[in-house]
Structure 1
Amino acid sequence: MNTLKNFPYQNILVLGLAKSGMSAAKLLHASGKHVTVNDLKANTDDPQVNQLKNIGVEVVIGSHPLQLLDGVELLVKNPGIPYHNPIVEEAEARGIPIITEVELASQLIGDSMIGITGSNGKTTTTTLIHEMLVHSQRKAKIAGNIGSVATEVASTMNPKETMVVELSSFQLLGIMSFRPKISVLLNVFEAHLDYHKTLENYKQAKANIFMNQIEDDYLVYNDDDETVKQLVKDAKAIKVPFSTTQKLTDGAWCDREYLYFKQEKIIALHDIALVGKHNLENILAAVSAALLDGATTEGIHHVLTTFTGVKHRLQFVQKVHERSFYNDSKATNVLATTKALAAFNQPTILLAGGLDRGNDFDDLIPFLSEVKAMVLFGETAQKLKITADKAGIDCVEFVDNVKHATQKAYELSEEGDVILLSPACASWDQYRTFEERGDMFVRAVHTLK
């Protein structure tokens, strides 16, 4: 196990257990640090609590006593815990540095990583890069919000391996020296303002991914996104743009027939298995990063001709009697659903609904031209019906859940139709996670045969 060397902090508080807190605490303890873990919701009989106590880590649960900060030199915060949490605010007031566990991962492996962030497309792009490297016989491991947490992966890496890590704005707020050799900034849309408070704060958190990069690092960025272009303007790294709208001499681009990297023809567009314009952007970003890290054209070609999507992210499930079923349960907002709808130009039945976050759905209307029917569920069903009426969709059905929605959509469908679960809403009114919602859809599709 790799441990931290020359890490200047001795007394450290880890706030929040979960996977990231557990991994950080174990790494810090193995590195000879005095570690205290504090978690509000954990119970005394939780296996994680007992495991930490058994190796000598102090664990405090049920509250956040401010005296835990006495003598603390560093706070390692679970990314999901907001900065207005009282113990976090007190740490800031005392001048205690606050990091997330990805900073610890960078302390372990330096710049041997490719970091990917953006408002949408992170998981797909991260997966593509990792697969492209693996199929090019490059040694790579995947980490972050997909797979294992970064510190867990970094603790077992050797110097010849690359970590491909998906990074959220929450994680990137908590860095100090974190520096990927290759950073990827996909896009920036308004999101997570309940956490960041302002759009400017959110944008700056995303920009942290290249904050510490130097002149021989690489920054892959979306040249079609004006916000991204402004953010990267003063970056020190070598800029490698990608675009679906223009020819580039220094990055990845496409015309109507082929995808290119600089002047090299990589693949014919009709050979790419993954559907959707937004996924073409993700593919361009992934090709850029993978090639910069030594992937081969053959390895990239193999992945792009076989990869049909990450689970729950415009994932092709299967065809049933010439109806194509797609699981896009990760579409928890209107923007994500517009991107899914834009991926198809054939008759579509849309399954949507979920937690009411107070927004309307009128931004969907320009993208509903191919939608012949909507099957609605959850708290927002009636709101979505209003949008369907505005869009001139006559066939609208209400059901109890995603399972019933799948059956109803199949009954309404004809050969050649797309049946798309893309809810435009969070899942928490009926399901614990979007994954649970998507799994119900996949199971229901498989029962149709």
Structure 2
Amino acid sequence: MILKDKRVLVVGLATSGIPTVNTLIRQGAKVTVNDVKNEEQLREIISALSMYDVRYILGGHPEDVTQYDILVLSPGVPTDLPFIHKAKENGILIVGELELAYRLCKGKFIAITGTNGKTTTTALTGEIFHNAEKETYVVGNIGVAAISKALEASKEAVMVTEVSSFQLESIIDFKPHIAAILNITPDHLNRHKTMENYIAAKANIFKNQEACDFVVLNADNEETYALASKTTSQVIPFSRKSSFDQGVFVVNGDIVVKEKGKEPMVVCSTKELNIPGNHNLENALAATALAYWGGIDIQSIANTLKSFKGVEHRTEIIAEIQGVCFINDSKGTNPDASIAAIKGMETPIILIAGGMDKGSEFDELIEAFEGKVKHMILLGETANKIKETAEQLGFVSCTMVGSMEEAVKQAYKQSIKGDTVLLSPACASWDMYESYEHRGRHFKDCVESLRRSL
């Protein structure tokens, strides 16, 4: 992709903004940055870009987009904004940061999407490839923009990439050699409007694949496995419940890999995994499929499965205070993720939940308590909505708070020795925090403050 002297408008700075500008400048592009935030709100990012000759349009959107050759959209930017429509009408190339990275990168992409489990599966898959001594970059929605490693990667590199539905909306040529859809349940309906639109965005992950490529699908999730009929690539199912002619599944408590016409091969026992819960078993099955069909041997896969201890902000044990365990699951940004976390716990739970409203309903979350959740601490813009749903379903043990500090104190007050205080918000973080990572770190700071105060 030739970028020299191209007039490029980068829309939205966010996590991928700085590396996107860096890469474009290195390629000789003439860059303008647009963000609805003002200069004061973006002063740290602008300072980081101060060595470059970059123009800025801040506090709103550009009035005239016809002067640009390319628009590069950050993942959080809705694609239905009027000025983006105007750019389309004028034949201007519109790409996301992921598409730009793909066009500039020599390496092969392994792409992972799904409503839940993306980060754990991406981290685990990356660890398998890294431990097998492959040139590996773990990038995407996991926190390292793909564009930041695109020029560094050689043709032998594996780009293990977590991709969101937002990123997949703006792809054009992006074609992973191996893709995975882990599961599909309602999420981001405030952005996608309907489940059909959301599923279509997820399915974009394999739209450019060919018969020589692979797509790994969760056979236990109906919405996901229904997509098997819509791809031209080779389907590799994974399942906790069933076996197939080809795929990765559980047999007599073992994780098993099977190729067509060959005997099944045992990878390891499910009991040897260090990440708890059925949701994490599914993540391990998917990572096994991605790695095996990506050319990694069974023993290397097994070694990593047995040593991997999970990722930050995903059912992360952070402290035990006077017999009460504190777990950070800030990555639980929708009800299904929080349900999985609750089901993975074996002790009574005081749940801290609430955050930005993405249009989700919370009935299934409350129904999943099944006597495990003793008390719920609620904060953020969805607090009232969750409380009303809980009361309608007969769960009345709720406390409303205004801050994470108060949430942690109240949760500890409600607990006894042997309980678990679980932060699993079932909502996005953007009403109170910059990101789920920011929320998780603040939770950990609040727990540490509590520990010091006792």
Same fold by TM (over 0.5)? yes
Shift of 1:232: 3.0
CA, structure 1 residues 409+258, in 2 after alignment: closer, same or farther (shift >3 Å)? same
AA at the equivalent of 2:378: F
Query: What residue number does 1:279 align with?
Result: 280
Q: Which moved more, 1:175-184 or 1:93-102?
A: 93-102
**Percent same amino acid among aligned pairs?**
37
Shift of 1:433: 3.5
Note the alpha carbon deviations across 1:165-185, whole angstroms, 9 max, x for none.
111111111112111111111
CA distance in 2, matches of 1:398, 1:64: 38
Query: What residue number does 2:411 align with?
Result: 409
Q: 1:69 aligns with which of 47, 66, 69?
A: 66
Any residues of structure 2 matched to 1:391-402 within 5 Å, and which?
395-402=397-404
8 Å contact from structure 1 (residues 373, 393) kept in 2: no
Q: 2:211 aligns with which of 212, 215, 219?
A: 215
Provide the secondary structure at the position in 1 that maps to 2:350: strand
Note the alpha carbon deviations across 1:14-57, whole angstroms, 9 max, x for none.
22233423333332332233433333324288364466574434
CA, structure 1 residues 13+373, in 2 after alignment: closer, same or farther (shift >3 Å)? same
Note the alpha carbon deviations across 1:315-336, whole angstroms, 9 max, x for none.
2224445443321122233222
Question: Does 1:255 find its partner at 2:251?
Answer: yes
CA distance in 2, matches of 1:437, 1:47: 20
CA distance in 2, matches of 1:388, 1:26: 48
Shift of 1:374: 1.0
Question: Does 1:46 find its partner at 2:56?
Answer: no
Q: 2:125 aligns with which of 103, 119, 129?
A: 129
Note the alpha carbon deviations across 1:262-310, whole angstroms, 9 max, x for none.
2111111111111121121111111111222233434433433333322
User: Normalising by the residue count of structure 2, what TM-score does the alignment of the two structures yield?
Assistant: 0.87
Provide the secondary structure at the position in 2 that maps to 1:68: coil
8 Å contact from structure 1 (residues 133, 294) kept in 2: no
- Number of aligned residues: 444
Q: Which moved more, 1:123-132 or 1:384-393?
A: 384-393
Shift of 1:209: 1.0
Shift of 1:128: 0.7
Query: What residue number does 2:234 align with?
Result: 238
8 Å contact from structure 1 (residues 329, 438) kept in 2: yes
Query: What residue number does 1:448 align with?
Result: 451
Query: What residue number does 1:336 align with?
Result: 337
Query: What residue number does 1:100 align with?
Result: 96
Q: 1:164 aligns with which of 139, 148, 160?
A: 160
CA distance in 2, matches of 1:326, 1:239: 36
Any residues of structure 2 matched to 1:67-216 within 5 Å, and which?
67-70=64-67, 72-110=68-106, 112-216=108-212
8 Å contact from structure 1 (residues 375, 408) kept in 2: no
Query: What residue number does 1:305 align with?
Result: 306
CA distance in 1, matches of 2:442, 2:51: 39
Task: Give the 4+ runs in structure 1 shifted more than 6 A.
Answer: none
8 Å contact from structure 1 (residues 274, 307) kept in 2: yes
CA distance in 1, matches of 2:30, 2:356: 42
AA at the equivalent of 1:46: R
8 Å contact from structure 1 (residues 372, 393) kept in 2: no
Q: Which moved more, 1:187-196 or 1:126-135?
A: 187-196
8 Å contact from structure 1 (residues 373, 394) kept in 2: no
Any residues of structure 2 matched to 1:370-385 within 5 Å, and which?
370-378=371-379, 379-381=381-383, 383-385=385-387
Query: What residue number does 1:346 align with?
Result: 347
Query: What residue number does 1:438 align with?
Result: 440
8 Å contact from structure 2 (residues 10, 33) kept in 1: yes
Question: Does 1:30 find its partner at 2:31?
Answer: no
AA at the equivalent of 2:245: T
CA distance in 2, matches of 1:347, 1:197: 36
CA, structure 1 residues 391+417, in 2 after alignment: closer, same or farther (shift >3 Å)? farther
CA distance in 1, matches of 2:321, 2:13: 43
8 Å contact from structure 1 (residues 350, 371) kept in 2: no
Shift of 1:340: 1.4
Q: Which moved more, 1:193-202 or 1:75-84?
A: 193-202
CA, structure 1 residues 304+444, in 2 after alignment: closer, same or farther (shift >3 Å)? farther
8 Å contact from structure 1 (residues 308, 315) kept in 2: no
Structure 2 runs not aligned, ≥5 long: 259-263
CA, structure 1 residues 53+365, in 2 after alignment: closer, same or farther (shift >3 Å)? closer
CA distance in 2, matches of 1:61, 1:344: 46
Shift of 1:311: 1.6
Shift of 1:448: 3.1
Provide the secondary structure at the position in 1 that maps to 2:64: helix
Shift of 1:143: 0.8
Provide the secondary structure at the position in 2 that maps to 1:67: coil
CA, structure 1 residues 73+277, in 2 after alignment: closer, same or farther (shift >3 Å)? same
CA distance in 2, matches of 1:348, 1:16: 39
8 Å contact from structure 1 (residues 111, 179) kept in 2: no
Note the alpha carbon deviations across 1:58-107, whole angstroms, 9 max, x for none.
4333443332323x332211221112322112112223231101112111
Shift of 1:366: 2.7
CA distance in 1, matches of 2:212, 2:360: 44
User: Normalising by the residue count of structure 1, what TM-score does the alignment of the two structures yield?
Assistant: 0.88
Shift of 1:255: 3.4
8 Å contact from structure 1 (residues 52, 59) kept in 2: no
8 Å contact from structure 1 (residues 317, 327) kept in 2: yes
Provide the secondary structure at the position in 2 that maps to 1:342: helix
CA distance in 1, matches of 2:119, 2:181: 13
Query: What residue number does 1:293 align with?
Result: 294
Shift of 1:240: 0.9
AA at the equivalent of 2:183: N
Query: What residue number does 2:427 align with?
Result: 425
CA, structure 1 residues 237+406, in 2 after alignment: closer, same or farther (shift >3 Å)? same
